[in-house]
C-alpha cells in the first residue's frame, strides 16, 4: 500500500517569508499526489494535485509543488506567506478509491 | 454549484448509543467517501461508495457502516458508541468516473461527534 510521510509536525514562519512543507511518498509507480489545507474547524480544501507530466504543479492561493521521483518527494512551497496561510496542511496519495494522508504539518505565521 | 454538505455539524452522544451522519455530495458526483479525523490517529479512511456499491473499506470495526442512496446521498452509522469514536467525520465526493486514485475529492465541513 502507498503511504506518505510529512516529517515536520509544526513550522513557524514570518509573514512575507517563504514556506516549504515536506512530503515523502512510498510507491513503486508514479503516484497520484495531493496537497490539502485545513483551517481550524473546517473541512479540507484542495491546493493542488499531481498525476503525471510537468513535475512543477501550480495550485491555488499562490502555492506550488514539485514532484521529484529520485527523492520520492512532493514538497509544497509558497514564496511569500500571508497571515491567512496559518492552517494545517496535509499531503495525500490516492489509490484504490481512497486517499491516504500524512500526519499533517501545522503552519503558524508570525507578524 | 453547491459544495458537499454534511448534517448535523455537531453531535453529542453517550456511550452505547448509535449515531447516523448524513452527506450530500456535489451535484453530479456519484462517489462518496468517509474519513475519520482524530488528534491521535489523524485522517483515516472509512469507506467509499459509488452507485450504491461499496468499493473500498478501511480498517474499522463492524460498528461502522455506511450506505449510499440512488441520488448519491450517503449516510454512515456508528453503533454502540465508544469514547474513542469522538472525532471529526469528513465526507468527500468525486465524480467517480475514473479508476481511482486520481480523482479529486471535495470535502465537506465535517460532523464533529463527541461521545460522553
Q: What is the pLDDT of residues A55-70, one digit of tens each?
A: 899 999 999 999 999 9
Enumerate the residues of chain B whose CB falls inside 8 A of the CB of residue A95.
Answer: 100-101
Mutation target vs A (from B43, B47, B66; most A CBs, 10 A cutoff) = B43
Is the pLDDT assigned to residue B100 strictly greater than 70? Answer: no
Residue in B with minimal Cα distance to A44: B107
| A12 CB burial (10 A radius; 0-12, 13-18, 19+) | exposed
- According to DSSP, residue A29 is labeled S
Is residue A26 within 8 A of residue A69, CB to CB? The reply is no
- What percent of chain B clears pLDDT 90, i.e. is strictly above it? 89
B4 touches chain A (CB under 8 A): yes
* pLDDT value of residue A103: 97
Residue A40 zone, left/alpha/beta (φ > 0; ψ -120 to 50; rest): beta
Mean pLDDT of chain A: 93
C-alpha cell at B112: 464533529
A:B CB pairs within 8 Å: 63
Is residue A72 within 8 A of residue A91, CB to CB? The reply is no
pLDDT tens per residue, range A8-43: 999 999 999 999 999 999 876 778 999 999 998 888
Residue in B with minimal Cα distance to A33: B102
According to DSSP, the residues that pair with B66 across neighbouring strands are: B76
| Closest approach of B79 to chain A, Cα-based (Å) | 23
Residue B109 zone, left/alpha/beta (φ > 0; ψ -120 to 50; rest): alpha
What ranges in B1-116 are assigned the alpha helix state H?
Answer: none
> Of A33-42, B23-32, B71-80, B95-104, where does mean pLDDT reach its minimum?
B95-104
* pLDDT value of residue A27: 75
* pLDDT value of residue A96: 83
Q: How many CB atoms lie within 10 A of CB A73?
A: 17
Asked if A103's CB is within 8 angstroms of B106's CB, the reply is no
B40: Cβ–Cβ under 8 A, 6 or more apart, which residues?
none
Mean pLDDT of chain B: 94
Backbone angles phi, psi at A71, to 5 degrees: -110, 5
Backbone angles phi, psi at A106, to 5 degrees: -90, 130
- According to DSSP, residue A55 is labeled S
Is the pLDDT assigned to residue B98 strictly greater than 70? Answer: no
Asked if A49's CB is within 8 angstroms of B42's CB, the reply is no
Nearest to A98 among B42, B45, B102 (CB): B45
Asked if A103's CB is within 8 angstroms of B101's CB, the reply is no
Q: How far apart are CA B42 and CA B21, in angstroms?
A: 20
Amino acid at each position: 500500500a502507498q503511504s506518505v510521510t510529512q516529517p515536520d509536525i509544526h513550522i513557524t514562519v514570518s509573514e512575507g517569508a517563504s514556506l516549504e512543507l515536506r512530503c515523502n511518498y512510498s510507491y513503486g509507480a508514479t503516484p497520484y499526489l495531493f496537497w490539502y489545507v485545513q483551517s481550524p474547524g473546517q473541512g479540507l480544501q484542495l491546493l493542488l494535485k499531481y498525476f503525471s507530466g510537468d513535475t512543477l504543479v501550480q495550485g491555488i492561493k499562490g502555492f506550488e509543488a514539485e514532484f521529484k521521483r529520485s527523492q520520492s518527494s512532493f514538497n509544497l512551497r509558497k514564496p511569500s506567506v500571508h497571515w491567512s496561510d496559518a492552517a494545517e496542511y496535509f499531503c495525500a496519495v490516492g489509490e484504490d478509491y481512497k486517499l491516504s494522508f500524512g500526519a499533517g504539518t501545522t503552519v503558524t505565521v508570525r507578524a | 454549484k453547491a459544495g458537499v454538505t454534511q448534517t448535523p455539524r455537531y453531535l453529542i452522544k453517550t456511550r452505547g448509543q448509535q449515531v447516523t451522519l448524513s452527506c450530500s455530495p456535489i451535484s453530479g458526483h456519484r462517489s462518496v467517501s468517509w474519513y475519520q479525523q482524530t488528534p491521535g490517529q489523524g485522517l483515516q479512511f472509512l469507506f467509499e461508495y459509488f452507485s450504491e456499491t461499496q468499493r473500498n473499506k478501511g480498517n474499522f470495526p463492524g460498528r461502522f457502516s455506511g450506505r449510499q442512496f440512488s441520488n448519491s446521498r450517503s449516510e454512515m452509522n456508528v453503533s454502540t458508541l465508544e469514547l474513542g469514536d469522538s472525532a471529526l467525520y469528513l465526507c468527500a465526493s468525486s465524480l467517480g468516473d475514473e479508476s481511482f486514485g486520481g480523482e479529486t475529492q471535495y470535502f465537506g465541513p465535517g460532523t464533529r461527534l463527541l461521545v460522553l
